Structures are given as C-alpha cells and as structure tokens.
Amino acid sequence: MSECGTLKEKQSTQDMKQEGTVLIVDDNTDILIAAKLLLKKHYQQVLTTDNPFDIEAQINTQQIDVILLDMNFSQDAISGKEGFYWLQKIVAQDPSIVVLLMTAYGDIQLAVDAIKAGAADFIAKPWQNDQLLGAVAAAFAHAKDKQQVGKLTRQTQGLNQALNQSGGHQFSFLGQSPAMQTVFRTIERAAQTDANILITGESGTGKELAAHAIHQASMRHHNAFISLDMGAVSESLFESELFGHKKGAFTDAKSDKVGRFELAHQGSLFLDELGNLPLAQQATLLAALQNRQVTPVGGSKAISVDIRLICATNDNLQQAVDEGRFRQDLLYRINTIEIRLPPLRERAEDIPLLVDYYLAHFCQKYKRQLEVNPMDMQSLQAYPWPGNVRELAHAIERAVILSESEYLDISTVINTAARPSPSTDSKGRDNTQITDTFNLEEIEQRTVRAALKHYQGNVSSAAKALGLTRGAMYRRLDKYNL
C-alpha cells in the first residue's frame, strides 16, 4: 500500500515537472550537487558539468533551454572574466539558450556587465532556494519565447523563399469532362483525410494545381503548402533542402536553414517529379516518412514533423519498381490514394472552357479584345496537345500577342500538320476540317452551321464570328436552308 503510494507520488511529481533541460556549469562539485537536487524536483532534465569546455558538445547533442553558469573557474579568480568568455560562446552557438550567471562575489557592476553581455540574470552564491527557483522559472519562460520567435523567424524566411520560387500566380483548376469531375470528387474526399496522395499524369496535365487543390480542401489549408521539385535538386543539396542544415555544416552553409519538411509542419509537403529521385535518396526520404522526424544536416537533434505528403510524377512508378529504379516500399508509403490526371486529348470537352479562361486571362494581361472563331475552336479541340494544358495556355498567350484582327489567330499557335484528319476523330464530333473537300460552297455551309452551333443558334453572334453582317448571314441561312 505504502509502496504503491510512493510510486504514485513519484509519478505525479514526474508529471508536474516542467519539460525542458537545464545545464549547471560550475567547478565546485558541492554546488553542482546542491543545485541539481533543488532543480530536479521541478525540471525534467538537469545536467551538470564541472568543465566549461563540455558546454559546446552538450548544446550540440540536445536542446538546452537554460544554463546556470559560474563566473570564475580558475582557483582564486574573482574577475568573472571566464564567465563572460563562456557566456559569449554560448550566445554565439545558440542564441535561444537563456544564461543565468552565478558568482560568489556578486557586485552590482558585474551584474550589469553580465546582463549587457547577454545573460538574463545574475545569481549571488550562496543562493536562497526561492530566489534561485524564481530566476530559473523566469529563464525557462524566456527561453520558450525565444525558441518560438526563432522558429517563426526561420519559418518566415523559408516561406518567403518558397513563395518567391513558386512565382506567386495561381490559376483556377478547371474541367467539365466526366474524367475531371471524377478527379475533383476524389480530391474532395481524399483531402478530408491525412492520407498520402500520389498524383500521376503526363507533363502539363495540372498535377501541381491538383496538389494545391488538395491542400486548399483539407483541414490544413490555414498552414503552409510547401513544394519541392525533386528533379531540380542536386544530389548534394537534397538533404539540406528537405531537412535543413546547421550553420557551418558544409562550406556554403553560412547560416541555419529550415528544411522543407519543417516548413510544411502542420501543412502539406508537395514533392514534384518524384520519379527522378536516385535510389540512395529514396532510402533517406523513406526513413524520414516512416519516423515522421528529420535531423538537419550538421545537427544532432531530431525534429518531429506533422505533414500531409502529396507526390507527383509523370513516370510510371510501378514500372520503375519493376525495372529496379524505384523502391517498392517507398511507393507503398506514398500512394495510399492515387489520382490520375487524364491527358487533354482524352477530354476535348474541356478545351473550350480552358481556351476561354486563358484567352480572358491573357487578353487582360496584354490589353487586347479577341474572340475565337468557332471553326478554330473545333480545330483546337481536334489538336492532340502533347504538352497538355501547359501547351494550350502558352499557345493562347502567343496567339493573343500575335493576332492582328479581332479573332484569335490559331495558325500561329498550333502545328496544322499535327491536327488529325476528320476520319481520326473517334468521338464523333461535328468536325469541320476542310481537308476532305475543296468545294467552297460545301465549306461555307459547314462553317455557317458550326458557327450557329457554337453560339447556340444566336445569329448575331455567329455572324460576328464569321465576319458577316446580319443581312449577309440571313442570306446564307436562306440559301442553305438552315
């Protein structure tokens, strides 16, 4: 019964202890023992050393919040100079640590100088227990604030960097085809979970837009969306980019850098072009994903991270696994949900929507007023767009710049030789390509029909698109019995 009581008491004292680490540095072992006995009742970890040369290694191996530092280490020294020396070294090594200086020869001037040099407070030995506990408690509170500020500053720097690299502009993610409607529904459902998502699809199909859409639809949307193009990261910088580095970890590491994992903490991490990752780095990435922890290059403390992982590739990863280029275990970890973005040639229904959207965008950008001729829209729909939506957006931009009339000149943007002939249009669309006839009347009749269809029977709009007056348009309707 009493043993049980003791265990419980121990447990509850353990629970009440403040999280964190205090290091006591003094050459007098009696002082070390007395201070440790007092402080270990209140703090989870109390470390001691009688050798100030140990401080650097201690800071390197764990997160230390507060250091109680003696001012005089050599026998008979009373100037406090050594204390100042070690204080400056600590501040330079990790400015988030709060230092309390201790001396048996407390005088006001020494206290003032110590605080000017970066100490938080000054404790005269022998101390009053209450006073020491009060000073250490205040130092802990200060240390937590400093750590928070340091973290936020590094995150802001990293976020600004990431934002600058992303270029800032975000287009809407559009699609009315059944295939895209399925994609949108999967995104909505998957976004509600924290499942890892793999987005596949040819280049330019919108994988990055899909990743943004997932983040926006998720509970994490208030936090960061951080992306990294694995194809653009050199092997030597891979770990530093993902996990960060400590100042001095390698020649170019001039200051601490927060890695993408840490920046994405509580948000989403988007790893693009994952298929390009060499096998050795796949192993490193897998370990970080399994442990949900990262250690910055040159650091020794692991940092826990909470991220939703979204990966994208235009490679066939299962085939890459079969060929020994990609780790099966990594594929299992990243593809809990897989979303395939169909190429544009499989969803020609989306083309008018995308053309109109990018036409409006670039007309505004270049201060133009242009329309698409309905016949041209059909050609745009029949074109196979090997570069998918990216190619389409670039094509529209080029045409907006180069078009001389009020109609978008598509001859400048698509390679006519690449357009399929009408017989290859398997979707049975009303194909008005002129390659199957040279009869002008026939061509005119088809064109008028197509314009009317596009403008849903609106004669004025169709006439305008064809460059005809309303009267000329009606004469043709009459002539062709339309």
Ligand X SMILES: Nc1ncnc2c1ncn2[C@@H]1O[C@H](COP(=O)(O)OP(=O)(O)OP(=O)(O)O)[C@@H](O)[C@H]1O
At residue 422, what are phi and psi to the nearest 5 degrees?
-55, -35
Q: How far is the CB of 407 from ligand X (least distance, A)?
A: 23
Pairing mode, strands 66-70 and 18-25:
parallel
Per-residue binding letters, 449-478, with ligand X (x by CB under 6 A): ------------------------------
Residue 412: partners with Cβ closer than 8 Å, 6 or more residues away: 398, 399, 402, 403
Q: Which part of the chain contacts ligand X (CB under 6 A), choosing from 31-39, 49-57, 86-94, 204-212?
A: 204-212
Number of residues that bind ligand X (CB under 6 A): 20
For residue 68, what are the β-bridge partners? 24, 100
Q: How far is the CB of 171 from ligand X (least distance, A)?
A: 4
Burial of 183 (0-12, 13-18, 19+ CB in 10 A): buried
For ligand X, the closer of residues 138 and 174 by Cβ is 174
For ligand X, the closer of residues 145 and 188 by Cβ is 188
Identify the residue among 124, 174, 434, 459 touching ligand X (CB under 6 A). 174
Identify the residue among 158, 201, 244, 374 touching ligand X (CB under 6 A). 201
Question: Which 74-113 positions form the footprint of ligand X (CB under 6 A)?
Answer: none
For ligand X, the closer of residues 22 and 274 by Cβ is 274
The reply on whether position 173 binds ligand X by CB under 6 A is: yes
The reply on whether position 390 binds ligand X by CB under 6 A is: yes
Q: How far is the CB of 271 from ligand X (least distance, A)?
A: 12
Identify the residue among 52, 80, 158, 204 touching ligand X (CB under 6 A). 204
Q: How far is the CB of 411 from ligand X (least distance, A)?
A: 22
Identify the residue among 103, 196, 200, 314 touching ligand X (CB under 6 A). 314
Give dist(CA 460, CA 413) in Å, integer: 28
The reply on whether position 209 binds ligand X by CB under 6 A is: yes
Q: How far is the CB of 341 from ligand X (least distance, A)?
A: 6
Q: How far is the CB of 312 from ligand X (least distance, A)?
A: 6
Pick from 480, 408, 409: which is nearest to 449 by CA?
480
Site residues, ligand X (CB under 6 A): 171-175, 201, 203-209, 272, 312, 314, 354, 389-390, 393
